[in-house]
Structure 1
Amino acid sequence: MKFNHEEFEENNLSITRYESMLRSNDVKFFDSDEFESIIHHYLENGKIAKAKKAISLGLSQHPSSVNLKLLRVEVLVFEDRLDKANMLLVQLHAIEPENEEIYIQKANILSKQNNHTKAIELLNTALKYTDDDADIFSLIGMEYLFMDDFQNAKINFMKCLEVDNNDYSALYNIIYCFDFLEEHEEAISYLNKFLDKNPYSEVAWHQVGKQYYDLKDYKKALAAFDFAIISDEYFIGAYLEKGKVLEKLKKYNEAIENYRITLELDDPTSFALLRIGKCFERLGSDDLAIQHYSKTVHEDPLLDKGWIAITDYYMRKRNYQKALYYTNKAISIDAENILYWKRYAKINNRLGFYEEAERGYRRTLELGNYELETWLNLSDILHRIGEPDAAIQSMHQAIEFYPENAEVQYRLAGMHYEKQELSKGEFHLRKALELDTEYTIILEELFEKVFQLTLVQNLISEYTVD
């Protein structure tokens, strides 16, 4: 531990000396290891231009340093200057054919060129020369992920974790593969074996809990999250997941307690505030529910779930004016959110503001929401406000998405009959009756005069007589 601290201090001193040199334009000597740590510092902090300058100065003082040249390759690859990077790697391979970093960088280039199979071959070669198997297995796992080969990806991440059981990114990737393959029971079995060797791994207990949650085994999920908290009482993720499980078990007060712990451990999160609001609403504490929904959108105005929670709350209470107020606020923040526009349209429809409702439904369609309900509501509003041609057009557009839907056909039939377009009306009515005779109620409710026509009744009877 002392060595690591001293190494950290030395790196900081090197960086301070180096930056002081740049400010004074007084060139000082640094050994190649110092340059490496300086360059790594800049790369890790995304300061590519500074890293490039350090590489250039480093190579001017140590022109034969393979490691500095490899860092130059890393930057070239980052900048997509792959041909130049490849040329340099060929030269370096001739000098140090057993340097694993050369194979790693070659594999990185091939990966960028979508040649993942060849990249894996080179990484397997790197395994022969490396002292850090875990890193290589992790890189191989990522290449298999790029190929959507989750089975082999999982195997390599497992090898990584066998070498370094503190590599939680590997553990997360293993579980990601299990989840994608929908192997929840297998994931639990693997995690339990891991926990036999690492009984206080809060991350593993957390993942076990999530697997049981997905399997809807809430009692076992709860026990796993409790063990995660025992392993690390400051583990916010475990409290959040435990809260979700308690909600499923309808233990809302206990869920609130767990969500509140997360607020004490760290800055408030919009997720925790939203869930507390939901719990209070289910407990019938409306004032506290709204209070927390308001805190949610204040904390994160871009979280649509917060605005939707407030809007839906007031819609359930039939307070449409307040629901509209909050929907308008949400739209002013994110005018591209389909969920907001759907509610805007629905609320305006309830309030009898049909032109605004029409605008809302049209906007949801423009944004790519092609649900049947959207088309039907738009058509009904256009029909109501006396725009039959536009209503008919919207139903014909709906047919492109729902060619065999009776509700669309009945509406078209009704509107064509109203326009005295009898042959078109008959065509769509026959089509509708062939699809579903039960939906004649649409004609009865929306087109009462059409429904009462003798020719329409006669046509309906053709399809409904036993």
Structure 2
Amino acid sequence: MALESNERPDRPIAKFESMLKTDDIYFFDAEDFEDIIHHYLNNGKINLAKKAIKIGLQQHPGSIELKLLDVEVLVFENHLDLAEQYLDELQLLDSSNEEIFIQRANIYSKKDNHEAAVALLNKALDLSENSFDIYSLLGMEYLFMDDFKLAKESFMRCVSFDEQDYSSLYNVIYCFEFLEDYDGAIVYLNDYLERNPYCEVAWHQLGKQYIAKNMLNEALGAFDFAIISDDTFIGAYFEKGKVLEKLGRYNEAIENYETTIKMEDPTSHAYLRIGKCHERLGNYEMAKYYYYHTVHEDPLLDKGWLAITDFYYKRNNYKKALFYVNKALNIDGENPQYWKKCATINAALQRYDQADFSYKQAVDLGNYELGTWLDWADVVFKNKDVRGALQILAQGQEFYPDNAVIKYKAAGFYLEMNDSINARISLIDALKLDIQKLPVFNEEFPQYAATDWVRNIVAKHEKSKGKTS
């Protein structure tokens, strides 16, 4: 027996769930079913949404809105062909329904045809009286197309419709940041704050833009206003702490990080920042205490293990540093900086084979910094593989063809091999690139720097340079 809606004064969702638990069948208005289905979709309860759609269509078989919600679920579950078939049928019944074009756009978006999706959403805009959601969808399509200018304009329209739409506000700022238009973001946020002076989200974002411009005092002021607007806004305290660190005001930074710990469960990131502040203040035992708290709170935070690594490395305790950098590598073995750090520590321990392997890993993972090539070559040279060291320098030269230091080092290595011809060529090339870097050669290879052979090459270069000038 079907019970009328007004016989059950309970809220539609509670009444619907009660119905599912019993053999009773309650009658709902089509609008009630729409509310129920939207509730489940918004909360990710797809199976309950599908049950509501099925029962809703049994009670209201002619409801286009319920059929469109059925299509929405089909699109979500990637049943795109069936969804398109239903949309074709619906369009014959109601060709001016903007939701039909929106769902077609979603299908094209799923197929990575974002240009077609944009065209359909623009058609939906022509038919819609409430275009807020459509502009949000347009913004996302433009993001997929890497058209950040149009994406920004779309999300701006969303914010103009609803200034409490913080999701769109974040997306506007994201577009500004991607376009590296920090000045534009600052102007936009200040204009927004003129109308919403107590919006902690906008103050927080404004502070981050000031940081990008290295306007640290202005950033500090923005975060203060974010905290005034909402004194429980943990993100503002944390960002304020980071700015205070950059300003060298470490004790104040610690106070802000500690506030975040008091307000919510402690986070490993807060412990890490507090540890770094104490280390800069010279409170080394306190720094160590917080670094260990960091990894205790989150053993998978590789930056915590790296902080402990650096702590011991700076104090020449290389064995402990090696132990802890390996902890970081066990968590993120694809991080080239960690492999480079591991190589540096192994080199300090004179474990040149392991250092060689670690530098190779760093380079294979994409670390092509000049220092990596130079240090790797030194390690291989100290391991008595001069040819290998020269090969590494040759690889580095491909990335830094105009770098004189590589050439000076190569000249020294060739001299170690008694290859005076290639040593002469490398030294002359280095002098041509930058004679001011000659002291690098003199310091690293003093046994050759004072020889007449080197002095003559340098003198001839200076003489020829004088003639050409």
Kept in 1: contact 2:12–2:36 (CA 8 A)? no
Residue 311 of structure 1 aligns to which amino acid in structure 2?
T
Of 78, 88, 91, 1:90 maps to: 88
Spell out, residue by residue over 1:234-289, the C-alpha distance to the aligned partner (whole angstroms, 9 max, x if none). 11111112222322333322222221111122122222222212222222222222
Aligned residues: 456
Distance in 1 separating the partners of 2:394 and 2:185? 49
Superposed, which structure 2 residues align to 1:75-86 within 5 Å? 75-86=73-84
Residues 16 and 299 of structure 1, relative CA distance in 2, 3 Å threshold: farther
Kept in 2: contact 1:297–1:303 (CA 8 A)? yes
The CA RMSD over aligned residues, in Å, is 3.0
Spell out, residue by residue over 1:329-381, the C-alpha distance to the aligned partner (whole angstroms, 9 max, x if none). 22222222222211111122222222222222122112221112111111111
SS at match of 1:431: helix
SS at match of 1:132: coil
Aligned residue number for residue 193 of structure 1 = 191
Kept in 2: contact 1:418–1:450 (CA 8 A)? no
Residues 317 and 54 of structure 1, relative CA distance in 2, 3 Å threshold: same
Of 311, 314, 319, 1:313 maps to: 311
Residue 125 of structure 2 aligns to which amino acid in structure 1?
L
Do structure 1's residue 323 and structure 2's residue 321 form an aligned pair?
yes
Distance in 1 separating the partners of 2:450 and 2:250? 54
Residues 373 and 95 of structure 1, relative CA distance in 2, 3 Å threshold: same
Aligned residue number for residue 461 of structure 2 = 463
Of 294, 297, 311, 1:296 maps to: 294
Do structure 1's residue 14 and structure 2's residue 12 form an aligned pair?
no
Kept in 2: contact 1:70–1:101 (CA 8 A)? yes
Aligned residue number for residue 352 of structure 1 = 350
Gaps of 5+ in 2: 1-7
Spell out, residue by residue over 1:108-143, the C-alpha distance to the aligned partner (whole angstroms, 9 max, x if none). 223334444443333233234445332122222223
Aligned residue number for residue 147 of structure 1 = 145
Q: TM-score scaled to structure 1, two decimals?
A: 0.86
Gaps of 5+ in 1: 1-5
Q: CA shift at 1:64, angstroms?
A: 3.6
Residues 334 and 187 of structure 1, relative CA distance in 2, 3 Å threshold: closer
Q: CA shift at 1:36, angstroms?
A: 4.5
Kept in 2: contact 1:15–1:38 (CA 8 A)? no
Kept in 2: contact 1:414–1:425 (CA 8 A)? yes
Residue 109 of structure 2 aligns to which amino acid in structure 1?
S
SS at match of 2:244: helix
Distance in 2 separating the partners of 1:445 and 1:185? 47
Do structure 1's residue 433 and structure 2's residue 435 form an aligned pair?
no
Aligned residue number for residue 369 of structure 2 = 371
Residue 384 of structure 1 aligns to which amino acid in structure 2?
K
Distance in 1 separating the partners of 2:227 and 2:120? 42
Residues 412 and 208 of structure 1, relative CA distance in 2, 3 Å threshold: closer
SS at match of 2:334: coil
Q: Percent identity of the aligned residues?
A: 52
Residue 95 of structure 2 aligns to which amino acid in structure 1?
P
Superposed, which structure 2 residues align to 1:156-171 within 5 Å? 156-171=154-169
Q: Return 409-418 or 363-372, whichever deviates more.
A: 409-418
Distance in 1 separating the partners of 2:312 and 2:359? 20
Kept in 1: contact 2:322–2:342 (CA 8 A)? yes
Spell out, residue by residue over 1:275-326, the C-alpha distance to the aligned partner (whole angstroms, 9 max, x if none). 2122222222222222112222222333333223222222333333332222
Q: CA shift at 1:48, angstroms?
A: 5.0
Q: CA shift at 1:9, angstroms?
A: 4.8
Aligned residue number for residue 3 of structure 1 = none
Do structure 1's residue 236 and structure 2's residue 234 form an aligned pair?
yes
Distance in 1 separating the partners of 2:209 and 2:378? 45
Residue 217 of structure 2 aligns to which amino acid in structure 1?
K
Residue 368 of structure 1 aligns to which amino acid in structure 2?
G
Q: Return 418-427 or 171-180, whichever deviates more.
A: 418-427
Residues 271 and 131 of structure 1, relative CA distance in 2, 3 Å threshold: farther
Kept in 2: contact 1:106–1:119 (CA 8 A)? yes
Of 406, 409, 423, 1:411 maps to: 409
Distance in 2 separating the partners of 1:400 and 1:196? 53
SS at match of 1:365: helix
Distance in 2 separating the partners of 1:375 and 1:27? 76
Aligned residue number for residue 170 of structure 2 = 172
Residues 112 and 358 of structure 1, relative CA distance in 2, 3 Å threshold: same
Superposed, which structure 2 residues align to 1:31-42 within 5 Å? 31=28, 36=34, 39-40=37-38
Distance in 2 separating the partners of 1:27 and 1:422? 98
Q: Return 163-172 or 58-67, whichever deviates more.
A: 58-67
Residue 16 of structure 2 aligns to which amino acid in structure 1?
S
Q: Return 95-104 or 248-257, whichever deviates more.
A: 248-257
Distance in 2 separating the partners of 1:141 and 1:290? 46
Residues 463 and 8 of structure 1, relative CA distance in 2, 3 Å threshold: farther
Residue 104 of structure 2 aligns to which amino acid in structure 1?
K
Spell out, residue by residue over 1:362-414, the C-alpha distance to the aligned partner (whole angstroms, 9 max, x if none). 22112221112111111111111211222222222222222232222233333
Aligned residue number for residue 117 of structure 2 = 119
Q: TM-score scaled to structure 2, two decimals?
A: 0.86
Superposed, which structure 2 residues align to 1:232-311 within 5 Å? 232-311=230-309
Aligned residue number for residue 106 of structure 2 = 108
Kept in 2: contact 1:302–1:334 (CA 8 A)? no
SS at match of 1:233: coil
Residues 238 and 121 of structure 1, relative CA distance in 2, 3 Å threshold: same
Residues 442 and 221 of structure 1, relative CA distance in 2, 3 Å threshold: closer
Aligned residue number for residue 385 of structure 1 = 383
Residue 263 of structure 1 aligns to which amino acid in structure 2?
I
Aligned residue number for residue 4 of structure 2 = none
